[in-house]
Amino acid sequence: MNEFIQPNITNGYENVKHVKRVDSLEIESLPQGQFSRLFIEIVENGIGRPIQVPVVVARGKKDGPLFGITAALHGNELNGIPVIHQLLQKINLKTLRGTIVCLVAANMPGLLEEKREFTDGQDLNHIFPGKPNGKISQVYAYNLVDRITQHFDFLVDLHTASEGRVNSLYVRADLKQEMTAQMAYLLRPQIIVHNPPSDYTLRGTAAEAGTPAITVEICDPAKFQRDPIARTVKGIRRILNHVGMIPSKATLPKTVTKPPILCKKSYWILTERGGMMRCIPKIADRFNQGDLIATQVNIFGDTIKEYRAPEDGIAIGHCINPIGQTGARILHLGVLMDEAERAKFESISGCSLDGTFCKIETPEG
């Protein structure tokens, strides 16, 4: 029986009252060959009580890397939480090399309030690495890094679309870096977008410190979606196998029936005026320059604007809220790589997109 799975307890508080409270992540203080559950204090609220984040540490009996997974940095982006639960249920500590650290809900205040932002209205993923002295959100971001994520050798940051939007299962990664290109490929999403880590994101902060990091967008917000969750769990297990942390009887398939679609960049198409919108392409649909992608009507139902694709692309995500004022997001357009750019990705990652070769080794023991 996997030691991560615990018996049901009627009183919810009984489940958590024995969880150890600590000020920071100290891996060496945790026993090898065991799961450890922690509440790590990040900041304090207005009456001096700690705001804590839940962390699960799976420390193998064998030494190896420290692999970090973060979820719910935006409080209403939930699919990453069951990804962590299901992944840990499959981990065998006897064969695990190294340590997996799962920050189950990085934005606990946002999670409890069922909203994207932190308590002061700030998007945490726009202010990393934060400040040791500043607004509460800045200190919170700083302490997440200082007390937890700075220890990671690898990072997978799990997100979803924002409220009022839907996403494909896609990965943002720096595809010019070998390890992050491989991590993106091994996740095997629908779409991979070349996206060098920007300043002020958790992924960008990790990359600046030399930690290979990718962002995984697991479809839609405020819900648990079984198939994307299961697919992401499998993808993370392939990455763990690739970096030598878990053995696997299953190697990468020799042929790839549905290779990920590679995009060299992406951007949002925005409304030019206010009105009610209808987005035409479905998730992961391709379209050509000039194709109709959205229509907009006024309150009386008169068509006031048609939006056409400015270039060939693919629908990474789109808005589902029909009410859009001027500047509202309509569709997240991915610009596909050309043959030369795809060949460069294959050269860097070591994997062909048609499945004819792959030099990524997946250790068995």
- Give the residue carrying structure tokens 């200082």: 146
> Which pLDDT score, from 0 to 100, does residue 38 have?
98
Does residue 356 form part of some domain? no
Q: Are residues 279 and 221 in the same domain?
A: no
Give how many domains the chain has, as a whole number.
2
Q: Are residues 161 and 310 in the same domain?
A: no
Residue 316 and residue 166 in contact, taking contact as beta carbons nearer than 8 Å? no
Does residue 139 form part of some domain? yes
Q: What end-to-end distance do the CA atoms of the chain give, in Å? A: 21
> Which pLDDT score, from 0 to 100, does residue 352 have?
81
Q: Are residues 184 and 117 in the same domain?
A: yes
Q: Are residues 32 and 150 in the same domain?
A: yes
> Which pLDDT score, from 0 to 100, does residue 351 have?
85
Q: Residues 111, 216, 225, 15: what is their CA dihedral angle, to the nearest 10 degrees?
A: -40
For the chain, give percent helix, strand, coil, nearest 5: 25, 30, 45
pLDDT digits (tens, 9 = 90+) for 307-356: 999 999 999 999 999 999 999 999 999 999 999 999 999 999 998 887 65
Does residue 51 form part of some domain? yes
pLDDT band at 15 (very low <50, low <70, confident <90, very high): confident
Average pLDDT across the chain, whole number: 93
d(CA 283, CA 325): 23
Does residue 80 form part of some domain? yes
Q: What is the CATH number of the domain that holds 38?
A: 3.40.630.10
Does residue 253 form part of some domain? no
Q: Are residues 44 and 164 in the same domain?
A: yes
Q: Are residues 292 and 206 in the same domain?
A: no
Q: Are residues 270 and 228 in the same domain?
A: no
Q: Are residues 86 and 224 in the same domain?
A: yes
Q: Of 213, 152, 209, which Cα lies nearest the Cα of 177?
A: 213
Does residue 248 form part of some domain? no
Q: Are residues 135 and 46 in the same domain?
A: yes
- Domain membership of residue 177 as a residue range: 12-242
d(CA 342, CA 284): 18
Q: Are residues 232 and 273 in the same domain?
A: no
Domain end, chosen from 242, 273, 296, is at 242
Neighbours of 133 (CB within 10 A): 7
Q: Are residues 178 and 303 in the same domain?
A: no
Q: Are residues 157 and 238 in the same domain?
A: yes
Does residue 359 form part of some domain? no
Asked whether residue 251 carries a pLDDT value surpassing 90, the answer given is no
Q: What is the CATH number of the domain that holds 286?
A: 2.40.50.100
Does residue 6 form part of some domain? no
pLDDT digits (tens, 9 = 90+) for 253-267: 444 447 899 999 999
In DSSP notation, 65-132 reads EEEEEEE-SSTT--THHHHHHHHHHT--TTT-EEEEEEES-S-HHHHHTTSSS-TTS--GGGSTT--S
pLDDT digits (tens, 9 = 90+) for 71-86: 999 999 999 999 999 9
For residues 92-96, average pLDDT: 96
